[in-house]
Amino acid sequence: MASNRQFPPTQRVSTEYLTRILESAQERTLSLVNDLTAEQKHGVQAPGLNPLWWEIGHIAWFHEKFILRDLDGERPCFKHADGYFDSFQVGHEARWRLASADLSTPLDYLDRVRKALIDRLSGGLASEADSYFYQLTTFHEDMHHEAFIYTRQRLGYPRPSFVADPPGHLENAGPLPGDVAIPGGLHWQGSDEHVPFSFDNERQMHPMEVGPFQMARAPVTNEAFAAFIADGGYERREFWSEEGWQWRCSNEVQAPAYWQSDGQGGWRVARFDEIVALRPYEPVVHVSWFEANAYCSWAGRRLPTEHEWEVAASRRLSDSGEGLSEGKRLYPWGDDAPAGEVANLDAGIYGPVDVAAFSKGENAFGCRQLLGNVWEWTASSFRPYPGFEPDPYREYSEPWFEKGDNKVLRGGAWATRSRLINSNHRNFFTPERRDIYAGFRTCA
């Protein structure tokens, strides 16, 4: 629930922008569910999965809760809203037990809320409150869109209709071996008031010393990970942490999620409702943190800390060529917002693609695809930054800090909305999760 605390200082944006992102989010929501049958919209009950119809209602509830109800004092548009769609009051199992008399109800609810949100916007420049809360609730919807996509993957549904095949120059870009040297120095971790929008776990910006390190130019590829499997990586206890080994054995894990043996020593992979040949130079994806960590042990490498990852994604060399320059960049390539030629984001093309693609999105040191294509596991556990204060959506970060079992991912994936992501953004999941679009890169 929203707190009485003042929302964080927010750059004011135009009402036209807020209307545009609301409408684009609605279009994406509809595109992700309208081609599914009633049975598919309910889905299949499994750990970590929600009924898709429930997620749509939750999206509507979230918009309504923080804007129409908390800002305006309005009554709920749907009388069962809190009892059905408040994610911190309705547990996962209860979401499956809830009977939806009509599958159109969540969509109708979302449509009514969306129209009310647009109708209340007026003038050229939105208030600071509207600028914050409209972006918060729309970015929350964006996150659910990515969850819709990996749910469709997990359940073997067809790929979303708006996802196109990648052009040949991206699909066949090839590998990108080698490391780059990144100097250490003082780094200001996190987001400050110059970042257009930030989540509470990215604040407060704070100084820290980061030592020099060597980072791979690209994420680990399918080919490299297959070599780990061929060398008995899943059978050799010495590469696994105690918790990771218990997880691997109890779940009988032998390969990344969706990989299938082709019977001839190679691999195929399930992509939505298709089985395709495994492409060697795409980044490995749908691996848990446990698997990433075991691979690193086998390869004599390690996962980067999230502090090292952020240095790589936001800093450049000083003019002298020694040490880090002053200041941070919002993206690896600079401060210009993501465009099609720099990163694989927004689910515009079928991803992931080869690790050598998107050369225009390199960081200052020669690392590629720090944003987009696949999320990257880091070595870091999800912890609050010094001086952390929860935003009005207290449940976004604070409860997960208290649980203490999440690992940080950085960088976004091909299914992540570009307006959501930058070099400071922190994602977090428990270390066994494999349904998300997660891969990893390594450090020497």
269 and 412 co-located in one domain: yes
- 113 burial via Cβ count (<10 Å: 0-12, 13-18, 19+): buried
The verdict on residue 298 lying in a domain is yes
233 and 139 co-located in one domain: no
353 and 442 co-located in one domain: yes
The verdict on residue 9 lying in a domain is no
The verdict on residue 8 lying in a domain is no
Nearest partner of 150 among 351, 293, 421, judged by Cα? 351
Query: Which pLDDT band, with edges at 50, 70 and 90, does 103 fall under?
Result: low
136 and 250 co-located in one domain: no
CATH code of the domain containing 244: 3.90.1580.10
pLDDT given for residue 105 in this prediction? 85
**Domain-terminating residue out of 136, 154, 172:** 154
Q: Are 255 and 229 in contact (CB under 8 A)?
A: yes
- 276 burial via Cβ count (<10 Å: 0-12, 13-18, 19+): exposed
167 and 150 co-located in one domain: no
pTM of the model: 0.95
146 and 192 co-located in one domain: no
CA distances from 366 to 12, 153, 216, 308 (A): 35, 32, 9, 15
Q: How many domains does the chain have?
A: 2
Q: Are 180 and 441 in contact (CB under 8 A)?
A: no
CATH code of the domain containing 120: 1.20.120.450
283 and 400 co-located in one domain: yes
Q: For residue 54, which phi and psi values (nearest 5 degrees)? A: -65, -40
The verdict on residue 259 lying in a domain is yes
pLDDT given for residue 5 in this prediction? 43
| 193 vs 299, more confident | 299
Counting residues of the chain whose pLDDT is more than 70, the rounded percentage is: 98
Digit-coded pLDDT (tens) for 219-230: 999 999 999 999
The verdict on residue 3 lying in a domain is no
Digit-coded pLDDT (tens) for 173-195: 999 999 999 999 999 999 998 89
Mean pLDDT of 61-71: 96
pLDDT given for residue 49 in this prediction? 87
106 and 213 co-located in one domain: no
For residue 266, which amino acid is it?
Answer: G
Q: Are 8 and 198 in contact (CB under 8 A)?
A: yes
Residue 312 in this model has a pLDDT that exceeds 70: yes
Whole domain around residue 403: which residue ranges?
Answer: 163-444
CA angle 385, 388, 393 (to 5 degrees): 120
Lay out the sheet containing 438-439: strands in order across. 427-429, 407-410, 375-381, 438-439
Does residue 94 sit in helix, strand or coil?
A: helix
280 and 254 co-located in one domain: yes
For residue 319, which amino acid is it?
Answer: D
C-alpha–C-alpha distance, residues 241 and 255, integer Å = 17
The token pair that represents 225 in the structure block? 């990970």
Residue with tokens 């040191």: 365
Sign of CA dihedral 280, 417, 293, 191: positive
Nearest partner of 412 among 404, 401, 402, 422, judged by Cα? 422
**Domain-terminating residue out of 112, 130, 154:** 154
pLDDT given for residue 38 in this prediction? 86
Residue with tokens 């050799």: 236
The verdict on residue 4 lying in a domain is no
**Domain-terminating residue out of 100, 131, 154:** 154
The verdict on residue 10 lying in a domain is no
First to last CA, the chain: 44
Mean of pLDDT over the chain: 94
pLDDT given for residue 319 in this prediction? 87
Digit-coded pLDDT (tens) for 156-172: 999 999 999 999 889 89
277 and 168 co-located in one domain: yes
255 and 272 co-located in one domain: yes
Alpha helices in 90-184 (DSSP H): 92-97, 104-119, 128-154, 168-171
C-alpha–C-alpha distance, residues 206 and 192, integer Å = 9
pLDDT given for residue 130 in this prediction? 96
Residues 6+ apart with CB under 8 A from 85: 54, 57, 58, 60, 61, 106
66 and 125 co-located in one domain: yes
The verdict on residue 5 lying in a domain is no
Residue with tokens 């994806």: 285
Cis status, amide bond into 11, omega within 30 of 0: no
